[in-house]
Amino acid sequence: MGSEPIERRVAYIGDRLKGSKCPFCGKEYFRTRKYCGNCGRKSLGKMEDIDFFYEKGVLETCTVVREPTNKFVKLGSYIYGIVSFHNGKVRVPGRLTDIIIRSDEPVNPENFEGREVVPRFRRRYSVDRSDIIPTISLAFTFADEYYPYQQYDITKPSKEYDVPGIVGYGVYISRFRIKEGAMERSVPFIDEDAITAAVEAGKLALIHSGVDHRLIGKVYVGSESNPYAVNPIASKVAQVLKLGEEEKAEGVQGVDAVDTEFACKAATSMFKDAMALVYYPRNPMDYVMVIGADNAQAAPRGEPGGELDFFVGYGGAAFIFGMRDVIAEVEGWYSCTSDTPDFWRRDLEPYPRHGGRFTGEPAYFKHIIKAGKKLMEKMNLKPSDIDYFVCHQPNPTFPARAAATLGFKPEQYLPGLQVSKFGNTYSGSSPIGLAAILDQAEPHKRIMIVSYGSGAGSDAYIFITTSQIKDKRERQKFTVKYQAENKFINYVDYATYRRFKEGL
């Protein structure tokens, strides 16, 4: 049994690595303090808030843990050590994550010590299935490996737009992959889940957009693999990323945060809500964030629902919508919905079921094609007027067929087709495809995205890129391509993939 108050306090400090700095002597602390040990009374109440969430540290000293304490056993062997920030002003204990160390594999600390590391928001350790999920950012990865260190610079917006659109975005795909045939799929590390992917994607979107986190008015998180049946991912995202104005006395954020669910279109559905909120004439929000993140679930092969196990991936995408420094303006949207039960997961069931062939024509294709056609009709557009097309990607064949049926050519839909690199990331699927297009599109290009959510429905949007898309591109190293073709990708076998997906 965990302790709710302790979890609240540990996560409040530990997820963000909060600390304090003395305004007089500059002494820094991990964990907030009311006064400085050097300066005493004169510093009381004057300490500055700092945190190390976007900082880069150095792994100073380390060792390998082979026999963890009970709650860490599922992590196997790992590197544990001392991480310093700000040239040794602050030192914290830390565990390296995203590294697989075999039990018989020699580890020389000298190969790790002195290297720069980045704090990562992860699950802390194993708990009972009914307990609160403990998290912490005292997990680190090397800054010169898969996940690069990137500064978060808040940028003053320079241009107002008449219509709302995408201001920035971030995609997070884990370092691990399983490769079967021509298909690669992303696999979470054992301490990752839909919550950590949502936070990572949101963090990367803030970095890319340069948007002040305090100006985010609302955050939506769409997921069908929230490890909680009740308890939002969005509240974690809001707290960790400090979205909205912080009310320090109470430790609350002045932001609206909500989780949404509609199978794989839980996130795309909220794009229009986000844009409506920033466009709302009386009291518009500055920015709204929409995240789609999933540790896509599948039963093991051979069990009912196990067909999905060949296609599921892990990851998330976050989009920030607003009216300033827009990189892609929205041109139109259309959604359609029907009561079509082609894929579902009952409460308390760990894995979804699906309707076999029924998921195809009467479900996936019907809704995507309807939404795509109807939006083009509404906007008076032909497929040739559209530069890029992306739709939901449950496997490599469906999206290609849907695109062709709608009249799109490979050069229009291939840039957004990412399923053979990452697998089906459920709520993150078509958003990651959209991000891949935004990573490469020139200004003034028209992009159509059509999502699909089982149950069933599709959301279609058309965006037009602006001249600012190129300016912002250099702010993001961690692009979709970078994650797809990274030399630090670690391929795992089937047993490891299943174990990692099940998590801590």
Q: Which residues are catalytic?
A: 224, 264, 392
d(CA 324, CA 281): 15
Question: What type of residue sits at position 90?
Answer: V
Question: What type of residue sits at position 76?
Answer: G
Q: Is 435 in the site for another protein (CB under 8 A)?
A: no
Q: Which stretch binds another protein (CB under 8 A): 69-77, 167-175, 223-231, 489-497?
A: 69-77
Cis-peptide into 495, omega within 30 deg: no
**Residue 124 or residue 218: which is nearer to another protein going by CB?**
124
Q: Which stretch binds another protein (CB under 8 A): 130-138, 162-170, 251-259, 402-410?
A: 130-138
Interface residue with another protein among 34, 71, 179, 357 (CB under 8 A) is 71
d(CA 78, CA 125): 13
> What is the pattern of x (binds another protein, CB under 8 A) and - over residues 375-414?
----------------------------------------
Interface residue with another protein among 26, 93, 251, 350 (CB under 8 A) is 93
Q: Is 128 in the site for another protein (CB under 8 A)?
A: no
Interface residue with another protein among 22, 36, 47, 107 (CB under 8 A) is 107
Q: Which helix (H) or strand (E) segment is 428 a member of? A: none
Q: Is 353 in the site for another protein (CB under 8 A)?
A: no
**Residue 94 or residue 202: which is nearer to another protein going by CB?**
94
Q: Is 470 in the site for another protein (CB under 8 A)?
A: no
Nearest to 244 by CA among 201, 287, 293, 209: 287
Q: Are 85 and 19 in contact (CB under 8 A)?
A: no
Q: How far is the CB of 188 from another protein (least distance, A)?
A: 18
Q: How far is the CB of 175 from another protein (least distance, A)?
A: 18
Q: Is 53 in the site for another protein (CB under 8 A)?
A: no
Interface residue with another protein among 78, 262, 364, 422 (CB under 8 A) is 78
**Residue 74 or residue 499: which is nearer to another protein going by CB?**
74
d(CA 486, CA 285): 37
As given in the structure block, the two tokens for residue 353 are 């079921």
Nearest to 169 by CA among 473, 484, 481, 486: 473
Question: What type of residue sits at position 332?
Answer: G
Q: Is 157 in the site for another protein (CB under 8 A)?
A: no
Interface residue with another protein among 16, 120, 123, 124 (CB under 8 A) is 124
Which string of b and e fits 468-478 if b means at least 16 CB within 10 Å?
bbeebeebbeb
Q: Which stretch binds another protein (CB under 8 A): 62-70, 194-202, 311-319, 400-408?
A: 62-70
Q: Which residues, at least 6 apart from 264, have a Cβ–Cβ distance to it below 8 Å? A: 224, 294, 392, 394, 424, 426, 427, 429, 430, 451, 452, 453, 454
**Residue 98 or residue 294: which is nearer to another protein going by CB?**
98
Contacts with another protein by CB under 8 A: the residue count is 41
Question: What type of residue sits at position 179?
Answer: K
**Residue 33 or residue 473: which is nearer to another protein going by CB?**
33
Interface residue with another protein among 1, 5, 41, 70 (CB under 8 A) is 70
302 class by beta-carbon count within 10 Å (0-12 exposed, 13-18 middle, 19+ buried): exposed
Q: Are 417 and 393 in contact (CB under 8 A)?
A: yes
Q: Is 245 in the site for another protein (CB under 8 A)?
A: no
Q: Is 19 in the site for another protein (CB under 8 A)?
A: no
HSE-CB at 81 with a 13 A cutoff on CA atoms is 26
Q: Are 315 and 428 in contact (CB under 8 A)?
A: yes
Q: How far is the CB of 227 from another protein (least distance, A)?
A: 19
Q: How far is the CB of 63 from another protein (least distance, A)?
A: 4
Nearest to 321 by CA among 310, 333, 311: 333
Interface residue with another protein among 53, 85, 121, 125 (CB under 8 A) is 125
**Residue 107 or residue 199: which is nearer to another protein going by CB?**
107
Which string of b and e fits 80-93 if b means at least 16 CB within 10 Å?
bbbbbbbeeebebe
Q: Are 107 and 101 in contact (CB under 8 A)?
A: yes
Q: Is 127 in the site for another protein (CB under 8 A)?
A: no
| Residues near another protein (CB under 8 A) | 10, 14, 30-31, 61-72, 75, 78, 80-83, 90-95, 103-107, 109, 113, 124-125, 134, 136, 138-139
